């Protein structure tokens, strides 16, 4: 009997290891005051490379302490209110208790005989999500590793269903759309760019024209409900009309906007989503779930089965039990669904929706605040919880601002006190708040803006400590 493997006879070692890990984590998190230590790549690489993986420490406690130094002390903490960079959320505590169970039981939801009730739990959550989308009883779906995989699978199904070769999407759609086209072996010009209405939302008239102009059999239209940068929601109902007229598969990428499915105040923003053929939802973005937790949900369940491959040893055609592997791109797969299950059973979906609404409210408040601050420019009013802005005090040209912003962002990151994202829109560089932490207050955001102002002034002022930036800005 190995003392190192989880079993009924190693429960003391197991509970001690898990208790130590959570106690160590709590100890470290208690001391966290900012999202990042500020350590450089070189520093961290030296420390990680110095570990001799062929000389084990022989003790979980010792290994945990080493990991605390290497990893926890330099982790990026998404729960810190001044972490406002990417689509990462602080995680719901009930989901963390589910993680303990998922890891130790280690079910694999590919076949019934490796997961039993786990398969039914996942299926109930798919049905629940399909219900929230507004799909009828024929809907089906499966959990995936993330929005990228969900989008890939949706486009694979669209190709199987239509045998078409062109995907219609805007420049604001997620880059996984283009990546999927490559993985699917489609032609280089397979993704046809559809014009937007000037506000980053797909223009349905331009979509119809693009489909007609492309000719041939179209494969799919990808509408986005919550674009990564601007948080825009394409006009799904009008797009669904065009898709119906041209008999095109409609995929809605709601990786980010899916939190609206739980919102009592803003669910209407997703109106029309029930007309999609497939939908991507990322619970690990706007349902406060730990990574990974995503799903693809389809209106007609039978379309999912088109990719089924049967292996005699695993899921023979004659099987009479539910084998999720028939619907998934993966084989061995975690029971990630249990995290969402625990969250819904403990908190309920209204609470999730309220938390998502709170971050959307905060983005609107922050936008109004920026309008009143002469040192900053906001690009446009937010739809969801992203906000694009830049530090541009009087006298700083747009060209100099474009050059300064990425370097300012880097310096902010290495200071560790706040982390924001950055992106380019129309060739110009903007800083980005992505708000997914309902604990981030306006005071926190004011602090982040003050920090940016301080660094910006330092980099542009005559007595700058950053001669390279100064030379570029003043040139």
Ligand X SMILES: Cc1ncc(COP(=O)(O)O)c(C=O)c1O
- Residues near ligand X (CB under 6 A) are 87, 146-148, 151, 174, 176, 224, 226, 228, 253, 255-256, 282, 294
DSSP 231: -
Provide, rounded to whole angstroms, the least separation between the CB of residue 83 and ligand X.
15
Q: Which residue lies nearer to ligand X by CB, 233 or 469? A: 233
Ranges assigned E (strand) in 34-165 = 83-84, 140-144
Spell out a b/e string for 122-157, using b for 16 or more CB atoms within 10 Å of the CB, else e. bbebbbebbebbbbeeebbbbbbbbbbbbbbbbbbb
User: Rounded CA gap, 35 and 348, in Å?
Assistant: 29
Residue 251 φ/ψ, nearest 5 degrees: -105, 130
**226 or 416: CB nearest ligand X:** 226
Of 167 and 208, the one with the shorter C-beta distance to ligand X is 167
Q: How far apart are CA 208 and CA 442, in angstroms?
A: 42
- Which of 88, 119 has the CB closer to ligand X? 88
| Burial status of residue 78 (CB atoms within 10 A of its CB: 0-12, 13-18, 19 or more) | middle
**Residue 251, exposed/middle/buried by CB under 10 A (0-12, 13-18, 19+)?**
buried
> Between 285 and 327, whose beta carbon lies closer to ligand X?
285
Identity of the residue, 283 or 391, whose beta carbon is nearer to ligand X in the bound complex: 283
Q: How far apart are CA 348 and CA 329, in angstroms?
A: 30
- Kindly state the smallest distance separating residue 280's Cβ from ligand X, in Å: 6
Q: Give the shortest CB-87-to-ligand X separation in angstroms.
A: 5
Q: Cβ of residue 323: shortest distance to ligand X, in angstroms?
A: 25
Q: How many CB atoms lie within 10 A of CB 448?
A: 23
Q: How many CB atoms lie within 10 A of CB 332?
A: 11
């Amino acid at each position: 009997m190995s003392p190192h493997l989880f079993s009924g006879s190693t429960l003391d070692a197991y509970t001690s290891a898990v208790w130590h890990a959570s106690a160590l984590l709590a100890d470290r998190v208690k001391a966290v005051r900012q999202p990042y230590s500020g350590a450089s790549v070189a520093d961290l690489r030296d420390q990680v490379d110095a570990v001799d993986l062929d000389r084990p420490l022989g003790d979980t406690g010792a290994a945990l302490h080493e990991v605390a130094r290497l990893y926890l002390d330099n982790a990026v903490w998404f729960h810190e209110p001044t972490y406002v960079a990417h689509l990462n959320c602080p995680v719901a505590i009930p989901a963390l208790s589910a993680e303990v169970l998922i890891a130790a039981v280690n079910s694999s939801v590919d076949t019934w005989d490796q997961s039993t009730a786990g398969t039914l739990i996942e299926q109930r959550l798919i049905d629940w999500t399909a219900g929230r989308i507004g799909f009828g009883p024929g809907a089906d779906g499966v959990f995936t590793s993330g929005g990228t995989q969900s989008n890939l699978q949706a486009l694979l199904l669209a190709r199987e269903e239509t045998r078409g070769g062109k995907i219609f999407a805007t420049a604001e759609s997620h880059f996984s759309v283009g990546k999927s086209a490559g993985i699917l072996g489609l032609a280089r010009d397979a993704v046809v760019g559809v014009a937007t209405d000037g506000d980053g939302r797909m223009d349905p008239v331009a979509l119809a024209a693009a489909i007609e102009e492309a000719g041939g059999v179209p494969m799919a239209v990808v509408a986005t409900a919550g674009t990564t940068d601007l948080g825009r929601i394409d006009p799904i109902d009008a797009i669904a009309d065009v898709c119906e007229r041209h008999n095109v598969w409609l995929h809605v990428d709601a990786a980010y906007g899916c939190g609206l499915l739980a919102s009592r105040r803003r669910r209407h923003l997703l109106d029309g989503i029930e007309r999609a053929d497939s939908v991507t939802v990322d619970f690990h973005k706007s349902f406060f779930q730990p990574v990974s937790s995503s799903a693809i949900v389809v209106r007609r369940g039978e379309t999912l089965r088109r990719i089924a491959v049967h292996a005699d040893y695993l899921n023979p055609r004659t099987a009479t039990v539910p084998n999720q592997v028939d619907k998934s791109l993966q084989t061995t797969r975690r029971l990630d669904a249990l995290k969402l299950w625990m969250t819904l059973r403990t908190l309920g979906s209204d609470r999730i929706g309220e938390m998502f609404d709170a971050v959307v409210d905060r983005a609107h408040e922050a936008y109004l605040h920026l309008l009143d601050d002469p040192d900053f420019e906001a690009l446009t009013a937010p739809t969801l919880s992203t906000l694009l802005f830049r530090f541009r005090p009087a006298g700083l040209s747009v060209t100099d601002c474009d050059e300064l912003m990425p370097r300012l962002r880097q310096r902010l990151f290495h200071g560790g006190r706040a982390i924001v994202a950055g992106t380019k829109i129309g060739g110009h560089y903007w800083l980005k708040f992505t708000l997914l932490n309902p604990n981030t207050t306006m005071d926190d955001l004011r602090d982040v803006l003050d920090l940016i102002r301080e660094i910006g002034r330092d980099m542009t002022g005559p007595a700058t400590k950053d001669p390279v930036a100064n030379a570029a800005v003043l040139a």
